[in-house]
């Protein structure tokens, strides 16, 4: 049953994004509306971002990236829209936002890589979305941007090659007027486990 629901979310989001893009023509707005609508239902009653919530977010992001890719849309705009949509959904459902932002940015990186898209551009779009969404709902833009950047870099680390450096460069510095500080607890954790 969980597999059926996961596939259902992916298919539903992908179809929703494709239809909305064709209807509206604005990928970012189409994605924001589709994602927030999907996740408000899926995250209702979820306080913390756990494995199950992360899977729902991942499948939602996968649907967005696939749909945007299939329609030839800019994946950085789709990434920005998906993070804004996730933030709106967390605000409406009372779900912990920073964990959701980090998980979303990581999913953006992994799924953009799967469709051979511009991973660094999509990661930067995710950070821009975190900043925009945070400002919209009254979160700290700096904390949201840091969560998105850290999630993106962590996910890029699993892709190998030079992707991690490209993503790190794309998501650090000043973005949308916010100084983005990369928090890398995962780096020290990996070294300690060895």
**Which one is predicted more confidently, 25 or 18?**
18
Alpha-helical runs (H) found in 115-162: 119-137, 141-157
Q: With cut-offs at 50, 70 and 90, classify the pLDDT of residue 106.
A: very high
Q: What are the residue boundaries of the structural domains of the chain, listed by start?
A: 2-193
Q: Which residues of 50-64 are buried (b: 16+ CB within 10 A; e: fewer)?
A: eeebbbbbbbbbbbb
Rounded CA-CA distance 98/190 in Å is 21
Dihedral angle of Cα 132, 168, 164, 7, to the nearest 10 degrees = -10
pLDDT tens digits along 31-57 = 888 888 888 888 777 777 777 888 889
- pLDDT score of 1 more than 50: no
3 — pLDDT class (breaks 50, 70, 90): very low
Neighbours of 82 (CB within 10 A): 37
pLDDT tens, residue by residue, 67-86: 999 989 899 999 999 999 99
Task: State mean pLDDT over 89-98.
Answer: 88
Q: How confident is the model at residue 4 (pLDDT cuts 50, 70, 90)?
A: very low
Give the Cα separation of 64 and 25 in Å (integer). Answer: 15
């Amino acid at each position: 049953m969980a597999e059926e629901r996961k596939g259902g979310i992916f298919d539903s989001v992908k179809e929703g994004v494709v239809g909305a893009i064709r209807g509206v023509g604005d990928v970012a707005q189409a994605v924001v509306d589709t994602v927030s609508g999907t996740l408000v239902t899926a995250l209702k009653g979820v306080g913390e971002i756990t494995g199950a919530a992360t899977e729902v977010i991942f499948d939602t992001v996968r649907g967005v990236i696939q749909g945007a890719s299939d329609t030839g849309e800019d994946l950085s705009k789709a990434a920005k829209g998906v993070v804004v949509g996730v933030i709106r959904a967390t605000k409406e459902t009372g779900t912990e936002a920073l964990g959701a932002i980090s998980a979303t940015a990581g999913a953006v990186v992994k799924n953009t890589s799967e469709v051979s898209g511009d991973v660094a551009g999509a990661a930067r779009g995710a950070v821009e979305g975190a900043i925009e969404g945070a400002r919209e709902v009254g979160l700290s833009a700096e904390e949201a941007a840091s969560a998105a950047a850290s999630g993106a870099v962590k996910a890029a680390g699993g892709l190998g090659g030079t992707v991690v450096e490209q993503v790190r460069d794309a998501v650090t510095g000043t973005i949308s007027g916010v100084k983005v500080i990369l928090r890398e607890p995962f780096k020290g954790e990996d070294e300690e486990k060895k």
